[in-house]
Structures are given as C-alpha cells and as structure tokens.
C-alpha cells in the first residue's frame, strides 16, 4: 500500500523533479518512476544533470541511449551526457558541409563548436526532442525528468524562450553555435517545447527541498522563476524529514526535529499555496530498487531497529587541513563536489578560519544558486565576499567589448557587434573572465572559491582548458613568459582543490568520479572533506545511529582508497550559519 502523496495523484505525461543540489531529486524521481512502472505504466526516466547518478541508483550502466532497467519491467532510463550530446550536435552541424565548403571554413565552424556553451545547447537539443517527439509519446505513458541543480535547471528551462527570441531577431553570427540555419530548422520544435512546458495538463513540476530555511528559500525563488516562464503546475515535496519519535532521549535528534518543524511552519509565502508532501528520513541509503520501493510506502514502520552505542573512531578534524593551508600564506582554495554536500558552508568556514589566523581572504562563488552572505551572516576583518553573477559579468563583458572593439566601428558595425553580443553564449565567456580574475588575485592573498555543482564546474574547467590551449598555440613562437588559468590550477603550490562529500554511497562515488576528471585535466586534488558526519556526532537516536553505522565503510574508503589527506566534519545540531557556528566546524575535536 503506497502513501497518498499529493504529487503522485493523476500524473501527467511529463514530471520534472527539481531543487537545490542534494535535496533528494534523484531518489524521488527514481522512486516515482519505479512506482509508475509497478502500476503497469511505460516509463522513461531521464536525467538532464551533467553530474547524473541515476545509473548508480539502479546499479546499471545507462549513458546517452535509452536503456531498459532489468529489475523493473516497463522502466527505461536515459542520461543526457553533455559531452556525447555535444559531439552528436557537432556532427549534425558539420557533417553536411564537410567536403562542400573549403577546409578552412569547416575548421572555423568546428572551432566555434568546441566551447562549453555548445555542450549546454546540445543537451538542450536532446531535451526538447523528448518533449516533442511523437514517437516518444507513443512509446511511453510518462517521462520523468531528474533535472540538474536549480541554477542550471532554470537556465535550461528558460532556453526555449531565449533561443526562440534569438531566432526571431535572425541576426548575428550565432557565435559558438555554428551556422544560424542549424537553429532555424529547430524553430517549430522549440515552439512545441515551450507549449508542452507551459501546459498544466501535460507537465507537472515537483519542487524538492529539505526542511531547512536555505533550501526552502531556494525553492521559493525557483517557484517564482518558473511561474514567470509559464510553468504553473507545481508541487512541493519536503524530503528527509526526521520523525518526531526519534527525538526521545537524544538531544541531537531533538534539536534537528525542532529545527525542521520550525522551518516547515515558517514556509516562505510563495510556497504556502502549493500542494505539500513530507517524506520521512530513511535509515538506509537509497540505492537499489528495493530501497526505492520503500521510499514512497505509506507505512515505513515504527522506530528503526535498536542500534547499540557507536564505537569511537579516530578521524582527522578540518582544523588540521586549515593549519596546513595557512602555511602557504596565499593561494587559490577551490571546494568542489556534488550539489548539496555543503560546499558553500565549508568554503565559508575555511575562509573565516584563515581570516582569523590573520590572512587576507577573498571568498567568492561561481555557483548560480549559492548564498554566501546568508551563510556568513555577518562580517569579519580581512575577509571580503563576492559572487560571480552571470548577468552582471555579461553586462561588464558587453561594455568592455563595445568600448574597445566597438570604438573603431561605424554605426552599422557597432549595431552588428551589439547583436552578436546578445547571443546567449556571451554569458559563458563573461563568467570565464571573472573566474580568471579570481585566479590571478590568488597570487597575493587567499581566494576561497565555492564552485558550482560538479557538472557545471567541469564545463567551466573545460573552458579554462580551451583558453589554455589557444594561448599556448599563439605563444608557441614567442619568447614571452605566460601563465594561463589552467597552468595555475595545475600548480599544487598555487591551487588546492578540496573535494567535499558525504559518507554515503552516491556522494562518494560522485566525488571519486570528479577526482578522475580533474586528474585527466592535470589537476591533482589536495584533500577530501567528509561533511555532516553522524558517525562523528555520536547520536543516540536509533535511526540516526543506523545511518551513522552505514557511514563507517564510506569513511574508510575515502581514507584508504581515494584521498591523500582528508578530514571529517561532524553533523551539528544547529545550522552552521554565522561566524560563531562556522568556527565550530574548524575547531580541533577534543
């Protein structure tokens, strides 16, 4: 018997699960897809997240082609792989003109299509096909989307309108997208995608959040932004709520229950009118079909099985890493990892700790969904805070180009240049320039960067690598000394990459995958941080103890298989917001 969760009622053809990274979108999307398939529906589960882990959840290699899930009849899955999609997109654009146009022109088109922006557009191209392909709609009763973290999703969902506007104007050289004709052919499909997204009879959007003020405020912002672009059929799901029964005889659990219930009682006004469901926290990891089926059951049982006291283990504290970082006196500290593992909190804590040791620190973020000011909740001497705002950086870049290149053009030339700078790809270039400025600043002070969730960060690093290759090629015949951003990222004296994870199956596997990607780019991670560890907090609640015991194997794997050095940060009863609570994260464990 399954729970009468409102978001499950009369599901339409398309369901989108979205929200801040780490709130459980993938688990809920997978569980919902399994439930529909168990009811005899034909279901396609699609991940549009560059850092997808749907395959890990089902223990099946999926990838960029529709793959049947053997353990769930009627369910198939697809992971839109941005790199594979980009290659298919490039082949589609370049193939027809190869051998027709001069080789130099073909090479120029290929170079235009080599950037990170093209990767995003290619993923969007596949995304719109799923919404509009008649054959897909005949083959499947439902398509369930596990979307990328919020900032990236908003951009993806806005693209149908953005590219439609761009095509309507019909000017410019389409920048890194290649020939404009390649997009003109998609006009009808883009219109159909916009119509499907805006039709409440066909599309439902499930906002997933945790019972935390920050993620609920993020959900409210997402609600407003999606409503503004016509997606009005929205439901709110608060995931991973600790049952009140667990608070008996456990101060930590009692504090969590009180904090979560207060957050739910104080829902942002934008969310109060939405249908609301609460999903209880489970004592087990949501990996495998059996675990997914339990997630949406109406009766998850009474309190978890009685678990005895957890034996102590010796794990290095974050303060040890801070002490070693501080010895350098300056440098770039980049915190990377899957969305929702606590990068923003830990980046802020590291910045605060370095400033309190007397170092000048610049704390910045490239994450479109990050809120450093909310986490810091105050000011500190020697610490400055900034955010790489895509809109502000794009305007800055446009002005710079018009003031330099545009200065020498006539009126007609300036008009053409302005049109080209309205290409949606301009934003990617502008954000990369801001990223490069932050890297240069690290030569004289500490720059602590809270990066975007993994997939988006890798796209940014890909842009850095492309820039590095271009500069190296141009400078090869000169005697001038030069340093590109990628060279600095690859220099372990200048840059320390801290991989943040949780002691759970999927986050650790995701972090290991990130480490492999970084190594392929010539960047060696300096340390790992295991955040929010219940094992290090020694709870008394049976449910929390069960989750804590599950952590031990993952902590051991990080210590012995993955990390040169690592630290474990215990789960705190109170949200680590404000300087005083942030300091608790970087104090030696007594």
pLDDT at 1: 38
Q: Is 65 annotated in the active site? A: no
pLDDT at 180: 45
pLDDT at 181: 46
Q: Is 436 annotated in the active site? A: no
Instruction: Give mean pLDDT, residues 558-576.
Output: 90
Residues 294, 299, 305, 310: what is their CA dihedral angle, to the nearest 10 degrees? 60
Q: 3-class SS at 493?
A: coil
pLDDT at 58: 86
Choice among 128-132, 181-185, 264-268 with the minimum mean pLDDT = 181-185
pLDDT at position 297 over 70: yes
Query: C-alpha distances in angstroms, 329 versus 449, 492, 529?
Result: 16, 14, 21
User: Average model confidence (pLDDT) for the chain?
Assistant: 80
Cα separation, 439 vs 489, whole angstroms: 8
pLDDT at 109: 72
Choice among 145-149, 455-459, 545-549 with the minimum mean pLDDT = 455-459
Which residues are CB-contacts of 344 (< 8 A; sequence separation ≥ 6)? 365, 367, 370, 371, 372, 375, 450
Instruction: Rank 55-64, 257-266, 379-388 by mean pLDDT and report only the highest.
Output: 257-266
Quote the tokens at residue 394.
């794009």
- CATH match of 318-391+445-585 with 3.40.190.10: no
Which residue out of 18, 21, 27, 542 is catalytically annotated?
Answer: 27
pLDDT at 53: 75
Quote the tokens at residue 234.
């929205």
Which residues are CB-contacts of 180 (< 8 A; sequence separation ≥ 6)? 167, 170, 172, 173, 174
Which residue out of 19, 21, 24, 240 is catalytically annotated?
Answer: 24
Q: At what angle do helices 390-404 and 411-421 cross, to 10 degrees?
A: 160
Cα separation, 21 vs 50, whole angstroms: 12
What confidence category does residue 72 fall into, taking pLDDT thresholds of 50, 70 and 90?
very high
- For CA atoms 347, 349, 352, 356, the dihedral sign is negative
Q: 3-class SS at 525?
A: coil
Q: Is 405 annotated in the active site? A: no
Listed residue (497, 472, 218, 172) closest to 350, CA to CA? 497
Instruction: Give mean pLDDT, residues 110-125.
Output: 66
What confidence category does residue 318 fall into, taking pLDDT thresholds of 50, 70 and 90?
very high
Which residues are CB-contacts of 142 (< 8 A; sequence separation ≥ 6)? 11, 12, 13, 14, 15, 33, 36, 41, 42, 43, 44
Which residue out of 19, 48, 49, 74 is catalytically annotated?
Answer: 49
Q: Mind listing the pLDDT tens digit for each residue in 178-235?
A: 444 455 566 677 778 878 888 889 999 999 999 988 789 889 988 988 888 778 889 9
Considering the entire predicted model, what is its pTM? 0.74
Choice among 6-10, 38-42, 519-523 with the minimum mean pLDDT = 519-523
Which residues are CB-contacts of 192 (< 8 A; sequence separation ≥ 6)? 128, 131, 132
The beta strands (E) that lie in 89-193 are given as: 142-146
Neighbour count for residue 480 (Cβ, 10 Å)? 5
Instruction: Give mean pLDDT, residues 114-137.
Output: 75
Q: 3-class SS at 45?
A: strand
CATH 3.40.50.300 range(s) for the chain read 6-295, 318-391+445-585
pLDDT at 375: 73
pLDDT at 172: 41
pLDDT at 178: 44
pLDDT at 324: 94
pLDDT at position 558 over 50: yes
Q: Is 47 annotated in the active site? A: no
Neighbour count for residue 216 (Cβ, 10 Å)? 25
Instruction: Rank 150-164, 318-332, 569-583 by mean pLDDT and report only the highest.
Output: 318-332
The beta strands (E) that lie in 164-318 are given as: 203-210, 234-241, 276-280
pLDDT at position 173 over 60: no
Which residue out of 394, 506, 535, 541 is catalytically annotated?
Answer: 506
Instruction: Find out whether 172 and 222 touch, Cβ atoms under 8 Å.
Output: no
- For CA atoms 544, 550, 556, 559, the dihedral sign is negative
Choice among 269-283, 342-356, 456-470 with the minimum mean pLDDT = 456-470
Instruction: Give mean pLDDT, residues 138-144.
Output: 94
Q: Mind listing the pLDDT tens digit for each residue in 397-439?
A: 888 888 888 888 888 878 777 766 766 557 666 777 777 787 7
pLDDT at 425: 59
pLDDT at 177: 42
The beta strands (E) that lie in 488-548 are given as: 495-502, 527-533
Q: 3-class SS at 457?
A: helix
Q: Is 464 annotated in the active site? A: no
The superfamily (CATH) of domain 6-295 is: P-loop containing nucleotide triphosphate hydrolases (3.40.50.300)
What confidence category does residue 459 fall into, taking pLDDT thresholds of 50, 70 and 90?
low
Q: 3-class SS at 241?
A: strand
What confidence category does residue 474 fall into, taking pLDDT thresholds of 50, 70 and 90?
low
What confidence category does residue 347 fall into, taking pLDDT thresholds of 50, 70 and 90?
very high
pLDDT at 176: 41
pLDDT at position 299 over 60: no
Q: Is 230 annotated in the active site? A: no
Cα separation, 490 vs 493, whole angstroms: 9
Which residue out of 20, 21, 26, 115 is catalytically annotated?
Answer: 26
Q: Is 343 annotated in the active site? A: no
Instruction: Find out whether 518 and 570 touch, Cβ atoms under 8 Å.
Output: no
pLDDT at 316: 92
Q: Mind listing the pLDDT tens digit for each residue in 503-513?
A: 988 788 889 98
């Amino acid at each position: 018997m399954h729970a009468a969760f409102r978001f499950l009622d009369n599901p339409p053809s398309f369901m989108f699960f979205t929200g801040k990274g780490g709130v459980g979108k993938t688990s809920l999307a997978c569980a919902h897809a399994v439930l529909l398939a168990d009811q005899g529906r034909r279901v396609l589960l699609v991940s549009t997240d560059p850092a997808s882990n749907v395959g890990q959840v089902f223990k099946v290699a999926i990838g960029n082609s529709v793959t049947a899930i053997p353990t769930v009849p009627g369910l198939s899955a697809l992971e839109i792989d941005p790199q594979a999609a980009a290659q298919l997109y490039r082949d589609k654009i370049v193939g027809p003109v190869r051998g027709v146009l001069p080789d130099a022109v073909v090479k120029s088109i290929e170079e235009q299509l080599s950037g990170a922006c093209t990767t995003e557009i290619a993923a969007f191209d596949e995304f719109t096909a799923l919404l509009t392909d008649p054959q897909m709609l005949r083959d499947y009763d439902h398509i369930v989307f596990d979307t990328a973290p919020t900032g990236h999703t908003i951009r993806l969902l806005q693209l149908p309108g953005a590219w439609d506007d761009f095509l309507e104007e019909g000017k410019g050289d389409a920048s890194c997208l290649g020939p404009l004709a390649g997009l003109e052919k998609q006009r009808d499909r883009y219109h159909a995608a916009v119509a499907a997204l805006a039709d409440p009879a066909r599309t439902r959007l499930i906002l997933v959040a945790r019972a935390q003020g920050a993620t609920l405020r993020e959900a409210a912002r997402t609600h407003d932004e999606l409503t503004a672009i016509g997606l009005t059929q929205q439901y709110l799901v608060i995931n991973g709520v600790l049952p009140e029964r667990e608070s008996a005889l456990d101060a930590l659990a009692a504090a969590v229950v009180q904090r979560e219930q207060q957050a739910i009682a104080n829902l942002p006004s934008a969310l109060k009118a939405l249908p609301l469901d609460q999903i209880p926290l489970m004592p087990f990891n949501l990996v495998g079909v059996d675990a997914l089926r339990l997630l949406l059951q109406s009766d998850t049982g009474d309190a978890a099985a009685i678990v005895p006291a957890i034996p102590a283990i010796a794990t290095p504290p974050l303060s040890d890493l801070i002490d070693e970082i501080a010895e350098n006196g300056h440098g770039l500290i980049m915190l990377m990892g899957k969305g929702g593992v606590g990068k923003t909190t830990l980046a802020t804590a590291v910045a605060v700790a370095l400033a309190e040791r007397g170092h000048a620190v610049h704390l910045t973020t490239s994450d479109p969904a990050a809120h450093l000011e909310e986490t810091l909740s105050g000011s500190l001497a020697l610490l400055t805070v900034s955010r790489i705002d895509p809109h502000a950086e794009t305007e800055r870049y446009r002005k710079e180009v018009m003031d330099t290149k545009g200065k020498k053009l006539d009126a007609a030339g300036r008009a053409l240049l302005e049109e080209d700078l309205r290409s949606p790809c301009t934003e990617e270039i502008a954000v990369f320039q801001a990223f490069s400025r932050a890297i240069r600043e690290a030569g004289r002070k500490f720059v602590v960067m809270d990066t975007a969730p993994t997939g988006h960060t890798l796209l940014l690093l890909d842009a850095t690598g492309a820039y590095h290759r271009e500069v190296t090629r141009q400078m090869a015949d000169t005697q001038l000394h030069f340093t590109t951003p990628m060279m600095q990222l690859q220099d372990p004296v200048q840059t320390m990459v801290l991989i943040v994870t949780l002691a759970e199956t999927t986050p650790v596997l995701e972090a290991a995958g990130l480490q492999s990607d970084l190594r392929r780019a010539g960047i060696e991670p300096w340390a790992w941080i295991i955040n929010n560890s219940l094992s290090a907090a020694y709870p008394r609640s049976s449910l929390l103890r069960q989750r804590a015991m599950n952590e031990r194997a993952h902590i051991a794997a990080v210590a012995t298989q993955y990390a040169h050095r690592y630290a474990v940060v215990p789960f705190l009863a109170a949200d680590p917001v404000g300087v005083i609570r942030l300091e608790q994260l970087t104090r030696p464990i007594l």
